[in-house]
Amino acid sequence: MNNRPENFKKSFFILLLTAILPVSFLLSGCSRNSHGEGTEPATSVAVTEIPASQVRPPESTTEIKENEPAVSPSIELPFTIEDRMVCMFTDESWQVPVDFQGEGESDAALAGLTWTSDSPRVVSVDYRGNITAHTEGHAVISCSNSLSEDEICINVFRELGGGSCWETDMLTAPDELRTYRNYAQGAYEYGDYSEYVAMHGCAACCTATALGAWDTGKVWDPEIVVRDLEPEANEKAWKKNYAKTMTRQMPLTPKGISRVLTLKEIPHTYVPSFDRDTLEEDLRRHLKKGLPVIYQAGNGGYHMMMLLGLLTDGNVLVSDSVGYYRVRVSSLESVTGQMFSCKEEPNASYFSGRKTAGGYIKVGETDEE
């Protein structure tokens, strides 16, 4: 009898058993040890399928700083900041104006700048030069790229003071902190000259404020100006003025103030006459440098006052010896509307009429600078 079919069945069964045997060992939970002896329980691993809708990509490790765009296309251009100093009140915000030189989009050039504040607790700045005043004090805001660098001084006020003398420090340059002592005429704290200062002392008050900001070795007040400096600057005119009765004594003219400032070597420029079309521009340019202006007003009377600085809204801080507040806010338009030019060659140290008085004094620099 032919046994080939039976032998075929046996061969097929052995082949099938050989293929299935490893799988059966795995399914039975056993494996052979490394020495081929006995069996050990295999480690059981549970696998849970996660729906595709719940799968999230890995989180980005790129740090995104607050108030900064994730992508900011930029270019670099040379630049300057025109303002050297500006004043503001707490909780106010302002964007520092930047003047770019060269061709290119200003937004892209602005994005290429790096901004920092040396006192972020007082004034903070973001990546586009927007500053915010948080508390009273001073800060230097710096700006740079690979081509240029510049800075601006910020003075922050919570409120303006009054009384017989209000003292305030102003950062006019990164290394220049000037103290302005703003005096009241009617304080009656000026010795033998208290009555004179109360009636005619507006010019003496302005002069003392300017002297104290530049000549820091001494505290200057209106009494010292009248008693000591005026006769030293022009003794003949001083004797003539104070020989009169009190009501006829007169204040210093801008020329008289200029003589005192020259005596104490305070840099300044006296502008006796001006063009009204360019007056506001000239005052604003000087104030942007962090430098004050003494000016004579004549609107229903004559009075000497001092501009201390520009505010971010374009208004000015005015030091005024009359009224409760020693420093107040005014529009520059209002200030220039009260100013008048000297009609004759200025020479008189004391006021004797509109012809020989008027104009303004730019304190802190001369015409040559």
Q: What is the CATH number of the domain that holds 286?
A: 3.90.70.10
CB 303 within 8 A of CB 318: no
Least confident of 33-42, 157-166, 207-216: 33-42
Condensed to tens digits (0 to 9), the pLDDT of residues 331-343 reads: 999 999 999 999 8
Condensed to tens digits (0 to 9), the pLDDT of residues 224-267 reads: 999 999 999 999 999 999 999 999 999 999 999 999 999 999 99
39 found inside a domain: no
If one compares 98 and 49, the residue with the highest pLDDT of the two is 98
120 shares its domain with 165:
no
Read off the pLDDT of each residue in 217-223 and give the average, rounded to a whole number: 92
pLDDT for the residue 366? 83
Condensed to tens digits (0 to 9), the pLDDT of residues 172-181 reads: 999 999 999 9
105 shares its domain with 243:
no
pLDDT for the residue 300? 75
Instruction: Supply the range of the domain harboring residue 127.
Output: 79-156
Relative to beta strand 327-330, strand 114-117 is unpaired
32 found inside a domain: no
365: Cβ contacts below 8 Å, ≥ 6 apart:
267, 268, 269, 286, 289, 291
pLDDT for the residue 368? 55
103 shares its domain with 245:
no
Q: pTM for the complete prediction?
A: 0.79
135 shares its domain with 183:
no
* Cα 348 to Cα 342: distance, rounded to the nearest angstrom: 11
CB 362 within 8 A of CB 281: no
pLDDT for the residue 74? 85
- Domain termination residue (choose one: 156, 181, 197): 156
22 found inside a domain: no
270, containing H or E segment: strand 268-271
122 shares its domain with 193:
no
250 shares its domain with 297:
yes
- Domain termination residue (choose one: 156, 180, 206): 156
136 shares its domain with 225:
no
Condensed to tens digits (0 to 9), the pLDDT of residues 82-129 reads: 999 999 999 999 999 999 997 777 788 999 999 999 999 999 999 999
Residue 30 has pLDDT above 90, yes or no: no
262 shares its domain with 137:
no
pLDDT for the residue 26? 38
Percent of the chain with pLDDT over 70: 80
* Cα 311 to Cα 202: distance, rounded to the nearest angstrom: 24
Give the mean pLDDT of the chain: 85
150 shares its domain with 210:
no
189 found inside a domain: yes
Q: Which amino acid is at 225?
A: V
Q: Which amino acid is at 67?
A: N
pLDDT for the residue 72? 57
7 found inside a domain: no
147 shares its domain with 189:
no
If one compares 85 and 3, the residue with the highest pLDDT of the two is 85
130 shares its domain with 168:
no
Q: Number of folded domains in the chain? A: 2
59 found inside a domain: no
- Domain termination residue (choose one: 123, 156, 189): 156
Closest by CA position to 363, among listed 301, 240, 271, 297 = 271
Beta strands in 103-226 (DSSP E): 114-117, 123-125, 130-133, 137-144, 149-157, 165-173, 176-183
Condensed to tens digits (0 to 9), the pLDDT of residues 189-198 reads: 999 999 999 9
Condensed to tens digits (0 to 9), the pLDDT of residues 320-368 reads: 999 999 999 999 999 999 999 998 888 999 999 888 899 999 999 887 5
205 shares its domain with 282:
yes
242, containing H or E segment: helix 235-242
Relative to beta strand 149-157, strand 85-89 is parallel
17 found inside a domain: no
Percent of the chain with pLDDT over 90: 72
Residue 40 has pLDDT above 50, yes or no: no
* C-alpha dihedral sign at 230, 231, 237, 240: positive
202 found inside a domain: yes
Instruction: Residue 110: give its domain's CATH number.
Output: 2.60.40.1080
